[in-house]
Amino acid sequence: SVDVRAGVTAVAHPNIALVKYWGKRDESLALPVTGSLSVTLDIFATTTHVTLAPPVPADMNGDAGLTGDVVTLNGRPAGGAAAERVQGFLDLVRALAGRRERAVVESVNQVPTGAGLASSAAGFAALAAAASAAYGLDLDGRALSRLARRGSGSACRSVFGGFVQWHAGTGSGSAGDVSSFAEPVPVGPLDLALVVAVTDAGAKEVPSREAMRHTMATSPLYRAWAQASNTDLTRMRHALARGNLTAVGAIAEGNALGMHAAMLAARPAVRYLSAGSLAVLDAVNALRADNVDAYATADAGPNVVVLCPRADADRVAETVDAIEAVRSVHLARPGPGVRLRSERP
């Protein structure tokens, strides 16, 4: 067990969705329109340490403790929207725990700076685990996943390692809240590698929350994508169970491009794919024409992740590295779920 007085450290990894989450049916509880399915990576870990400050006495606001949470990200004090988001999440944890101490949060991530890969999924999975333990909540995986979901939807999947499905759940309010969680899915033999191609960062990206809202409100293709996504989810479960990498890749690529198509049809369009992203998609098509089982996916940004058999990962990495718009290439494999650890970051 962990000595919570010294604070708690948790480590989590980002995940990349093979069947995407795009759109909430309830924004305040982060309940999604559709279920989604991802693979947790073994690179770009986020390590988060949470220490509690002594409680502020009820009758004064003086020296006895912190009056607000203190948040540092990669050694720098977080301000503005980032700090507010962490503070809001900690308020939720405090409400669940019936506690009122303020917290000191120090978070470090291994994502190369400026790569446009700042993963809120790893960040909120690590924060959910560290903060819930620091405030004395004893949550099982499902409850932790539901909590992480409130920080950032996709974070609920980074609670678990390997292949993970996030159930949309049913209903609204607390019925929706208890039924919308992630859990690992069974997989057959599947020697999957993921090649992350970081492309030239383009214009400043639209945050996913606003982009989802706007796509749902204005894209005539949104409903069709959501419907197709439900079918993709069922087919993906079967492809994973059979260990059929070709089917996994084909479904993942179709689902991702469909999501981007729905965004492109929004008015005005939300466009995350850049010229560099399209160059990577072209290279993936050329690899396939050359009998390499490579498939592409992309989230709310210009970077492209290529799925391929482990045996072909080096060749795929060399191919995408040769593309002018690709700034760096990172090899990943399925990785672990969130864990508490004894050392500080």
- List residues binding ligand PMV (CB under 6 A): 17, 20-22, 36, 120-121, 152-154, 208, 299-300
Distance separating alpha carbons of residues 209 and 151, to the nearest angstrom: 12
Closest CA to 245 of 318, 313, 331: 313
Residue 18 C-beta: closest distance to ligand PMV, Å: 9
In sequence order, the β-bridge partners of residue 15 are 40
Distance separating alpha carbons of residues 227 and 23, to the nearest angstrom: 12
- Of 38 and 51, which CB lies nearer to ligand PMV in the complex structure? 38
CB burial readout 300-315, b (16+ within 10 A) else e: bbbbbbbbbbeebbee
Q: Which residues touch 234 (CB under 8 Å, ≥6 apart)?
A: none
- Of 20 and 102, which CB lies nearer to ligand PMV in the complex structure? 20
Residue 46 C-beta: closest distance to ligand PMV, Å: 13
Residue 34 C-beta: closest distance to ligand PMV, Å: 9
- Of 52 and 273, which CB lies nearer to ligand PMV in the complex structure? 273
- Of 21 and 295, which CB lies nearer to ligand PMV in the complex structure? 21
- Of 36 and 48, which CB lies nearer to ligand PMV in the complex structure? 36
Q: Find the residue with minimal CB distance to ligand PMV.
A: 17
Distance separating alpha carbons of residues 252 and 250, to the nearest angstrom: 5
- Of 22 and 295, which CB lies nearer to ligand PMV in the complex structure? 22
- Of 100 and 223, which CB lies nearer to ligand PMV in the complex structure? 223
Distance separating alpha carbons of residues 197 and 194, to the nearest angstrom: 10
Residue 299 C-beta: closest distance to ligand PMV, Å: 4
Residue 322 C-beta: closest distance to ligand PMV, Å: 27
Q: What is the DSSP string of 160-220?
A: S-SEEEE---SSSHHHHHHH--EEE----S--EEEEEEEEPP-SPPPPHHHHHHHHHHH-T
How many distinct helices (H) and strands (E) make up the chain? 10, 16
Distance separating alpha carbons of residues 158 and 123, to the nearest angstrom: 9
- Of 61 and 227, which CB lies nearer to ligand PMV in the complex structure? 227
Distance of alpha carbon 159 from the chain centroid: 10
233 by DSSP, 3-state: which?
Answer: helix
Closest CA to 280 of 196, 201, 193, 192: 196
Residue 216 C-beta: closest distance to ligand PMV, Å: 13
- Of 167 and 341, which CB lies nearer to ligand PMV in the complex structure? 167
Residue 153 C-beta: closest distance to ligand PMV, Å: 3
CA angle 115, 198, 263 (to 5 degrees): 95
Residue 52 C-beta: closest distance to ligand PMV, Å: 27
Prior bond of 207 cis (ω within 30°): no
Q: Under a CB-based contact definition with an 8 Å cutoff, are residues 25 and 149 in contact? A: no
Residue 16 C-beta: closest distance to ligand PMV, Å: 7
